Amino acid sequence: MQSRLPTTVYLSADDVIRIVQRVGLSRCIAGVAARIERDFLRWPEFDKSARVACHSRDGVIELMPIADAHEFAFKYVNGHPSNTRAGLPTVMAFGVLADVDTGAPRLLSELTLTTAIRTAAMSALAARTLARPECRVMALIGNGAQSEFQAIAFRDLVGIRTLRVYDVDPAATAKLVANLVDQRLDIVVCNSAADAAQGADIVTTVTADKTNATILRADMIAPGMHINAVGGDCPGKTELHADVLTRGNVFVEYEPQTRIEGDIQQMAADFPVTELWQVLAGTAPGRSGDAEVTVFDSVGFALEDYSALTFIRDTAAELGIGDVVELIPHSDDPKNLFGVLDRHTTNTGPAVFA
């Protein structure tokens, strides 16, 4: 019997960089945000679960799976805040799309750059849904690898024009300022998180330390603010004081996961939250008034990675970018996996079994 070899498209880091350069970062962020919104609107169609995490002293390695009736996706991702001291990124990721009906892998892609794009897209989508429409000033606390993507996403999708920026590492802030010098944003460098939050319509916290931190306190919150808490994304890692969470309504991605990993891990099990897809679908209220404080307790969810993977796959196909790799051994008889060893040793001598 002749078997059909599954075709797997491979997108390297260089491939994804080429895609972003040809399409433009702003259009990529907007495209991923549109995919996330579309997929959140069909939330009940997905087989969802919290990510699987292996924690160590220095960080975490996670697998994030999700599937609908047609495609399965997963992301491998780490979070090691001390990596930068060794010249490595804090976050590194890759992802896979596979056919549900056969299990055949169809896409293997880098997701480090793509995750930065999808995280910014998710933040901006949530803010566009929950924040006051007239928001123009954002505090950006934590100026590491994710910060520029957040800034551009909020500029394009929310209308932010002024950034009030702060990081405990002045070099990170200097990097952010240099990278955004031509991005049509007024940037104010601040001396503390409290200083950055002063006068802001939106506060985005995107810090990396794996600790129960208090980046934002209740006395830093003004009526009508929208809080975009991105950095608290695993057990034992928070950014918001518990009193911030009681100041307004809290919105999450996938509640079972956020209860474990988000800032709401500090709260009782019955602390009320709303999943964002319900607001997008019109089945739950979002902001109820201009003075209300809204909090998006974002931890990152696998559905967002699925959306990003399908966007990057389809865009790569349109641009003719990517290679085909043979992840699955080819055999004329799919029941004879052992036989592929003979085929691959024909020109290299006999196989030796011990």
Catalytic annotation, residues: 233
Q: Is 87 exposed, middle or buried (0-12, 13-18, 19+ CB in 10 A)?
A: exposed
Contact 115, 308 (CB under 8 A): yes
Length of the chain, in residues: 354
Q: Which two tokens stand for residue 62?
A: 């996670």
CA distance linking residue 250 with residue 29, whole number of Å: 24
Cβ neighbours for 268, distance < 8 A, ≥ 6 positions apart: none
How is the beta sheet containing 202-205 ordered, strand by strand?
186-189, 162-166, 137-141, 202-205, 226-229, 294-297, 249-252, 274-275
**DSSP code at position 6:** P
List of residues 6+ apart from 169 with CB closer than 8 A: 143
Read off the tokens for 194. Answer: 């409290």
Which helix or strand (DSSP H or E) is residue 30 part of?
A: helix 25-40
Alpha-carbon gap, residue 147 to 238, rounded angstroms: 18
Q: How does DSSP classify residue 24?
A: -
Residue 51 and residue 302 in contact, taking contact as beta carbons nearer than 8 Å: yes
- The one-letter amino acid code at 330 reads H
Residue 72 CB: number of other CB atoms within 10 A?
18
DSSP assignment string, 142-203: --STTHHHHHHHHHHHT---EEEEE-SSHHHHHHHHHHTTTSS-EEEE-SSHHHHHTT-SEE
